[in-house]
Structure 1
Amino acid sequence: MKKDYYEILGLEKGATPEQIKKAYRKKAIEFHPDKNPGDATAEENFKLAAEAYEVLSDPDKKARYDQYGHAAFEGGGGFGGGGMNMDDIFSQFGDIFGSAFGGGGFGGGFSGFGGGGGQRRMKGSNLRIKVKLTLEEITNGVEKKIKVKRKVKAPGVSYKTCTTCNGSGQVMKVTNTILGRMQTASTCHTCGGSGQIIDSVPPQADAQGMILTDDAVSIKIPAGVVDGMQLKVSGKGNDAPGGNSVPGDLIVAIEEVEHKTLKREGENLHYDLYISFPEAALGVSKEIETVSGKVRIKLEEGIQSGKILRLKGKGIPSIEGYGKGDLLVHVNVWTPKTLSKEQRQFFEDSLNDDNFAPHPEKSDKSFFEKVKDMFS
């Protein structure tokens, strides 16, 4: 079982953005590879802290994590909110505590990053798309095949060692202070820390040796996702220039298409069923729509308006794998707005009929009791 992100950073749920950033900086400095060379446990803690910060520092991700826990970022097919590697960490969070390690930014001097000497392994930019899903697709899970326009390295492009930093990705600077001569490292401004610059550019490529192409991507979306949830397909974003770079990720935002008759509430679904006075009095069999097809239900004689019928397991699957929600059928007795002369006479004759007078039983809950039950 994955460790709680708040626990990893030593925080309470509801921590402010400033507290989250401060806690992450403290943990990252404590477990930084430069301070713990060869310590596998420290490196793992370093990665966990970065993973926790990646989620908790993003308001949208934090809100989904607070509601669904780690399940908000699970689902297979390359999806996930965690599993960060060193490349992700050093490329994304370099400004959090760069001055703590010689002013050289995140990873300054860490020999295990990008091949040694502080060279930075460049990561391409992420791409973001929206995928619209029907309730049926959300209920069953679905695989979507889409075309994504992404930048990739052009065939024939080549790179050479940066002459400014000699391939290290960093430049050293010596300054005189009252404490003596101090040496600091900073990211090479020529190559951006990759240690390489472009050598040969094909005619169809841009200045960085990239071309735009249509890439077919297959996305496996698990059952039970919610509107606004984001899934990640690793390595399907834009390429980055350089021979030792890695592509970015494809971020998939889920958009739920509104169903014409069903309303979703978490894992439960709601359906409004309208029946006539005669149907309510005599009882009737009705066909209603569910996400898995139509089903027939029987309404007993004398059913009251406001009655809620619960169809077990006819809702949305839990994304955490804890079964399915229910379908709640709300019975509404329709009152006719116009009456014929004969119909009006019938109801006028029935006004003083004790059989038509309301006689609620103890089992017939009031409207407010039903609302209370729904939210409890």
Structure 2
Amino acid sequence: MSQQEWFDRDFYAALGVPSTASAEEIKKAYRKLARELHPDANPDNTEVEERFKKVSEAHAVLSDPAKRKEYDRMRRLYRSGAFTGTGFPPRAGSGGFDFGDLFGSGSPFIVGDPLGGVGDVLGDLFRRAGTRTASARPRRGSDVETETRLSFREAVAGMVLPLRVSGPMVCTSCHGSGTRPGTRGTGSIVDAPCPDCQGAGIGDRTRTVSVHVPPGVSDGQRIRLPAQGEPGLGGAPSGDLYVTVRVDPDPVFARSGNDLTVTVPVSFAELALGTMLSVPTLEGQVSVKIPPGTQSGRTFRLRGRGVPHRGDAAGDLLVTVEVAVPPDLGHEAAEALRAYARAEETGGFDPRAGWADGK
């Protein structure tokens, strides 16, 4: 890929944000597009997969303040005509543009380099270059962030999750050397660059990573996978991969710390007379004894039936009973209930006795 093609790439357009977008706006745009374009949601769709790669590449640059600054600066220079038609800046002393004058002695641009140092900068920005210099400074690879979604019960139980990740990785053809297989890449310039990665030693690909999700992972928790991020430059170590877990709600259970909660509908008769109630748990149904006269809203605690946790005992299951009122009584049930109400009144029971007095 030529230098001009690099400069012509509009990473802001790839994410659908203006060049003035804040870091938070870039993050939100990337997350939205990543969910829509992820290969898992679009299997065997090469067009969507290619766009996903471009979006990931754009995010990798714009989410890093240093990379974004260099990217913006290089694009401004290119548009202002600071580069020649070949895509290279003029050499020092030619009467043309001098990077040393612009950035000073501390600049990463080296005036007199055949690329004017642009190859090193582009290597840092985009993790690829048409020709790689052997003197590129070692730099640890960037950390990568992604998300995965689990069901409530998967998160509670824990699992090994195969996760597909797309982005820059060590080139499988040259194994990171940047040279064409069968040649050597010694010296300051690689004479025979690898055709797959164009001499960068790094290429985009999709791989599957096994993520060990611990039992009891909570919504929003991040899991760190060391050295599974972007590869480093010049032999430096790779960055890390951070996986944020999103947990879907469950139709039956809710969670409070390491405790599970469940509300079980019951009839008035079951609470008044007492019963053996069948209650769901993560392992199946269990029986809970409901004593006569139990009030609606009472909570029963089942020890060790909650969320497992590494190094700690599992939480509890909190079972709350709540009276369900039938929306429509049949004639026979209505007559029976009226008879009960009369007997209740005769017996002196008043459900609101002392209620208005705050007793």
Which TM-score bucket, shorter chain as reference?
0.5 to 0.7
TM-aligned CA deviation for residue 127 of structure 1: 2.2
Q: Any conservation in 1 of the 2:169–2:205 contact (CA below 8 Å)? A: yes
TM-score, normalization by structure 1: 0.50
1:268 alignment partner, one of 249, 259, 279: 259
CA contact (8 A) 1:127 1:238 kept: yes
TM-score, normalization: structure 2?
0.52
Name the aligned partner's letter for residue 293 of structure 1: G
| Partner in structure 1 of residue 274 of structure 2 | 283
Distance change >3 Å, CA 208–CA 120, structure 1 → 2: closer
2:260 aligned counterpart, secondary structure: strand
Between the aligned partners of 1:198 and 1:251, the Cα distance in structure 2 is: 34
- Counterpart code for 2:163: I
Q: Distance in 1 between matches of 2:212 and 2:352?
A: 51
> 1:152 matched to which residue of 2?
169
3-state SS of paired residue (1:269): strand
Alignment partners' CA distance in 2, 1:256 and 1:331: 26
Structure 2 unaligned regions, length at least 5: 1-63, 67-104, 108-135, 180-184
Q: Is the 8 A contact 1:136 1:292 kept in 2?
A: no
- Asked whether the equivalents of residues 227 and 238 of structure 2 are also in contact (C-alpha less than 8 Å), the reply is yes
- 2:192 and 2:349 map into 1 onto residues whose CA distance is 91
CA–CA distance in 1 between the matches of 2:352 and 2:303?
27
Identify the match of residue 203 of structure 1 among 195, 198, 209. 195
Runs of 4+ in structure 1 off by over 6 angstroms are none
Partners of 1:143 and 1:231 in 2: CA distance: 12
Give the structure 1 partner of residue 209 of structure 2: 217
User: Aligned partners of 1:279 and 1:216: how far apart in 2?
Assistant: 53
User: 1:333 aligned to 2:323?
Assistant: yes
Q: Given the alignment of the two structures, is residue 128 of structure 1 paired with residue 120 of structure 2, yes or no? A: no
Higher-Rg structure is 2
Shift of 1:312: 0.9
Contact between 1:208 and 1:241, CA under 8 Å: does it hold in 2? no
Amino acid at match of 1:345: E
1:232 to 212, 224, 228: 224
Contact 1:153/1:209 (CA < 8 Å) preserved in 2? yes
* Cα distance between partner residues in 2 of 1:127 and 1:228: 16
Pair 334,127 (structure 1): closer, same or farther in 2 beyond 3 Å: same
In 2, Cα distance between equivalents of 1:206 and 1:120: 18
Which residue of structure 2 lines up, in the alignment, with residue 111 of structure 1? Answer: none
Note if 1:324 corresponds to 2:296: no
- Note the C-alpha offset of 1:120: 4.9
Contact 1:275 1:334 in 2 (8 A): yes
Describe the superposition over 1:295-319 as per-residue Cα deviations: whole angstroms up to 9, x where unpaired. 2222222322111111111111235
* Closer, same or farther: CA 134–358 of 1 in aligned 2, 3 Å: farther
Q: Deviations over 1:14-45 (max 9, x none)?
A: xxxxxxxxxxxxxxxxxxxxxxxxxxxxxxxx
Provide the C-alpha distance between the structure 2 equivalents of 1:160 and 1:287, rounded to a whole number of angstroms.
Answer: 74
Q: Note the C-alpha offset of 1:218.
A: 1.6
Q: 1:138 aligns with which of 148, 155, 175?
A: 155
Higher relative contact order (CA 8 A, sep 6+): 1
C-alpha distance in 1 between matches for 2:352 and 2:186: 86
Gaps of 5+ in 1: 1-91, 95-102, 106-118, 163-196, 362-367, 369-376
Q: Answer whether contact 1:314 1:327 (CA < 8 A) is retained.
A: yes
The one-letter amino acid of 2:265's match is Y
Amino acid across the alignment from 2:267: S
In the alignment, is the contact (CA less than 8 A) between 1:230 and 1:253 conserved in 2? yes
Matching of residue 351 in structure 1 with residue 336 in structure 2: no
Tell me what 2:249 maps to.
Answer: 258
Instruction: Work out whether residues 239 and 248 of structure 1, in 8 Å CA contact, stay in contact via their aligned partners in 2.
Output: yes
The CA distance in 1 between the partners of 2:314 and 2:106, in whole Å, is 51
Matched to 2:262, the amino acid is: Y
Equivalenced residues, count: 218
Structure 1 CA distance for aligned equivalents of residues 191 and 142 of structure 2: 22
Distance 2:324 2:352 in 1: 19
Q: Which has the higher strand share?
A: 1
* Distance of aligned partners of 1:153 and 1:306 in 2 relative to their CA distance in 1, 3 Å threshold: closer
- 1:317-337 deviations in Å (ceiling 9; x for gaps): 235x22121111110011122
SS in 2 for 1:351: helix
Equivalences for residues 291-310 of structure 1 within 5 A: 291-310=282-301
Query: Match for 1:262: what amino acid?
Result: F
Contact 1:135 1:291 in 2 (8 A): no
Query: Do the aligned partners of residues 271 and 236 (structure 1) sit closer, same or farther apart at CA in structure 2, a change above 3 Å counting?
Result: same
Q: Does the Cα contact within 8 Å between 1:284 and 1:299 map onto a contact in 2?
A: yes
The 3 A distance-change label for structure 1 pair 302 and 125 is same
User: 2-side partners of 1:318 and 1:287: how far apart?
Assistant: 26
Sequence identity percentage: 27
Structure 1 residue 104: deviation in Å? 7.1
